[in-house]
Structure 1
Amino acid sequence: MSKTVIISGGMLDEGFAEKVLEANPEAYIIAVDKGLEYLYNHKIEPQYIVGDFDSIDPKVIDYYRKETNIPIREYNPVKDATDTEIALRLGITLGSKEMILLGATGGRIDHLWANVQTLSVACDAGVNACILDEKNKIWVTNKSCVLKKSEAYGPYLSVFSLEGEIYDFSLEGTKWPLNHHDLMPCDSLTVSNQFVDDEVKISFVNGRIVIMETKD
């Protein structure tokens, strides 16, 4: 199992979710709490169901408990991790090398920020994971990288420090390049840049950064 799609309980454009699942027919599907409702309504079978089930329609989770043999991992709402983090860690344990998180944006900002931080868990495990919606692709890396303009999710590129000061940070191939800058968590300098060259090079020597590829 090389790829996992996690369906979380945030805002989910059903047409967009359908396209992602159709493009990844071999992906393992983990349903997270209210995200299970989308799969139930579209008769899509997940491989795992996780959550405390405090936000899902009770009839939906009852159906899976009584009518299917799909593994369900149920947690007390009073716990030390979000349902999405639990699902992501499960994907890592199952051997996934790539993960797409749907339904991880929209609604409460605290939930969105927790989901962004959770991407660090995948990053540290060497797993490529991203949050995806119609306008945004969000991912975390602890290594310098090269982005291809032809593969960009959108024309805009924003970069943020996820943990303290990022030393010797450089951007090449963007509308506003940056050379050997010490990127601070409070910096807005690297918001809404744009791809110019065929390749954009991002380099730094420590820590983790959040990369957001976006479109209007």
Structure 2
Amino acid sequence: MRTAILTGGAVDNFQWLAGVIKKDDRIICVDGGAGYAAALGLVPDVIIGDMDSIDRADLERFAGQGALIKEYSVEKDDTDTALALAEALAGGPEEIIILGAIGTRFDHSLANVHLLRVAHDRGVKARIMNEYNEITLVAPGQRVVLAGDPGDAFSLLPLTEQVTGVNVTGARWPLQDATFCIGNPYGVSNRLAAGRAEISIKTGLLLLIRPSDRGEL
């Protein structure tokens, strides 16, 4: 089972969003993310958060349609998206996708990226996706295969203080037994040399970011 967490961050392309969410996904909306579900004609399984950015009429309508409402105080230690991730993990999913999690609030965007580690520590694969980027983790013991077209961009950045034993093959700039440290972002904007690249590491956690052609600095 896959769980889709739909947050209230920026979504510019509703056609893209509709194409990502699958019919069998368990849908958890974070507060105002329920507005996106309403626009797509979807009924969330759960709506969670402090409800400070959701239309109350939508909330009542969704409750009447069977959505589980979990309302929290505005004064809380966790972010709404962290609460949604905990709810998702409690359901034992095989995979979690977090949508709308990258927006105009950089603090929230960065906090959401850090939530990938929470899912990893629970043994669940998680991705953050928007129209412009897909963000995942590379962990020790994994061999991550990137498929695409020659010239497709990808970036590697350390999530932990240090990442050792970084090996990248099939890229324009391959790496062998490299070390990445926070403060030296030399893994930005690598590219596929052909149609396939492989990435592995020995220690630490590495962010893998795959931008779309529309993404710009």
TM-score (norm 2): 0.90
- Offset of residue 151 of structure 1: 8.8
Please state whether the residue corresponding to 1:96 is helix, strand or coil: coil
Deviation per residue, 1:24-82 (Å, 9 max, x gap): 211111111000011123331111111111122233223334x3332111111111211
Alignment of 1:46-65 (within 5 A): 46-65=44-63
CA contact (8 A) 2:147 2:197 kept: yes
Residue 174 in 1 paired to residue 171 in 2?
Answer: yes
2:171 maps to 1:200 = no
In structure 2, the CA distance between the partners of 1:146 and 1:64, relative to structure 1 (3 Å rule), is closer
In 1: Cα distance, 2:30 partner to 2:14 partner = 15
Q: Give ranges in structure 2 of 5+ residues lacking alignment.
A: none
For residue 212 of structure 1, give the secondary structure of its aligned residue in structure 2: strand
Residue aligning to 1:189 = 186
What's the RMSD between the two structures over aligned residues? 1.8
Letter in structure 2 aligned against 1:189: Y
Alignment of 1:5-24 (within 5 A): 5-12=4-11, 13-21=13-21, 24=22
After superposition, where does 1:151-162 map in structure 2 within 5 Å? 155-162=152-159
Name the SS of the counterpart of 2:166 in structure 1. Answer: strand
SS in 1 for 2:32: helix
Task: Name 2:43's counterpart in structure 1.
Answer: 45
Counterparts in 2 of 1:14 and 1:85: CA distance versus 1, 3 Å: same
The aligned length equals 211
Deviations 1:125-146 (A, max 9, x none): 1111111111211012323323
Q: Note if contact 1:48-1:71 (Cα within 8 Å) is conserved in structure 2.
A: yes
Q: Do the aligned partners of 1:123 and 1:141 also contact (CA within 8 Å) in 2?
A: no
Residue 161 (structure 1) shift: 0.7
Deviations 1:81-101 (A, max 9, x none): 111111112111101111111
TM-score, normalised to structure 1, is 0.91
Gap regions ≥5 residues in structure 1: none
How far residue 181 of structure 1 moved from its aligned partner, in angstroms, is 1.7
Distance 1:40 1:146, change over 3 A: closer
Q: Could you say what secondary structure the match of 1:73 adopts?
A: strand
SS at match of 1:191: coil
Distance verdict in 2 for CA 1:64–1:149, change over 3 Å: closer
Q: Which amino acid aligns with 2:87?
A: L
Partner deviation per Cα, 1:8-29 (whole Å, 9 max, x = no partner): 00001311111112xx211111
CA deviation map 1:163-210 (0-9, x unaligned): 111122222111111222220011221001001144322222111111
